[in-house]
Amino acid sequence: MVQQKIVIKMQVRCDKCRCKALEIAAVADGVISAAWEGEDKDKVVVMGDGVDAATLTRNLSKKLGFADLLFKQVHNVNHVHHLHLSINCTSNIM
């Protein structure tokens, strides 16, 4: 199995946009996990197998504005991990 790590820099305006970005990343084909990283929580880090980084970046850009593919790493993994992806998006929107 080949595991990928994809990092996409984004400019998000609010918690609702941040949650929507994770939802878009999570439903992409081959995604195992998606999370925010960076000092300002401005980078989406996606782990998966067979994820199309260009399409994911384009989808995030179309839905939320600016998205820039920073890098993609590929790792060969000899053992299989079964992970459960859950998204917990709670925000106080008034």
DSSP annotation string for 8-75? EEE---SHHHHHHHHHHHHTSTTEEEEEEESTTS-EEEEEESS--HHHHHHHHHHHHS-EEEEEEEEE
pLDDT of residue 94: 45
pLDDT tens-digit series, residues 23-54 = 999 999 999 999 999 888 899 999 999 999 99
Token digits for 55?
A: 């399409």
Tell me the three state secondary structure of residue 94: coil
Q: How many domains does the chain have?
A: 1
Task: State the residue range of the domain holding 35.
Answer: 2-76
- Residue 94 included in any domain: no
Give the global pTM.
0.78
Per-residue pLDDT band for 13 (boundaries 50, 70, 90) equals confident
Is 83 a domain residue? no
Q: Residue 6 pLDDT more than 50?
A: yes
